[in-house]
Chain A
Amino acid sequence: MTPVATQTLTVHQKAVRSSVAMKVLMAVTGIFLILFLLMHAWGNLKAFFGPEAYDHYAEWLKSDILYPLIPKGWFIWIFRVFMVACIVLHMLSAYLLTVRSWGARGRYQRKDRRSQTFAARTMRWGGIILLMLLLFHLGQFTVKLFLTGFTATSTPYQAVVLTFSQWYMVILYALFVGTVCFHLRHGIWSALTTLGANTSPAARRGLNYTAIFVAALLFAGFMAMPVAVLFGGIK
Chain B
Amino acid sequence: MKITLNIWRQANAKAEGHLERYQLDGVSEDMSFLETLDMLNEQLTTEDKEPVAFDQDCREGICGMCGVVINGAPHGRYSSSVPTTTCQLHMRSFADGAEITVEPWRAGGFPLIKDLVVDRSAFDRIIQAGGFISVNTGSAPEAHSVPAPKLESDRAFDNAACIGCGACVAACPNGSAMLFTAAKITHLAMLPQGQPERYSRVKSMIAQHDAEGFGGCTNIGECASVCPKEIPLESIAQLNRDLMKSLFRREGK
Contact = CB atoms under 8 A, between A and B. Distances in A.
B253 interface: yes
6 contacts: A11-B200, A15-B247, A105-B175, A112-B73, A116-B173, A201-B234
Contact of B220 (A6, A116, A196): A116
A200 B73 CA distance: 25
A8 interface: no
Interface stretch (A68-76, A95-103, A140-148): A95-103
A199 B234 contact: yes
Interface string A118-134: 00110100000000000
A148 B250 CA distance: 56
A84 interface: no
Nearest to A99: B215
Contacts, number: 182
Interface stretch (A16-24, A40-48, A160-168, A216-224): A16-24
A152 B71 CA distance: 59
Interface stretch (B23-31, B84-92, B103-111): B103-111
A18 B105 CA distance: 24
Contacts of B219: 120, 186, 189-190, 193-194, 198
Interface string B127-142: 0000000000000000
Contacts of A21: 243, 247
Contacts of B175: 101, 103-106
A108 B106 contact: yes
Interface residues of B, number: 63
A228 B214 CA distance: 49
Interface of B: 6, 8, 19, 69, 71-73, 78, 101, 103, 105-110, 170-176, 178, 200, 202-204, 206-207, 209-222, 224-225, 232-234, 236-241, 243-244, 246-247, 250-253
A190 B71 contact: no
Interface in A1-40: 1-3, 6, 10-12, 14-16, 18-24
Given A1-B212, A109-B101, A115 B176 contact: no
Given A101-B176, A105-B175, A15 B108 contact: no
A18 B253 contact: no
A193 B179 CA distance: 13
Contacts of B220: 115-116, 120
Nearest to A20: B243
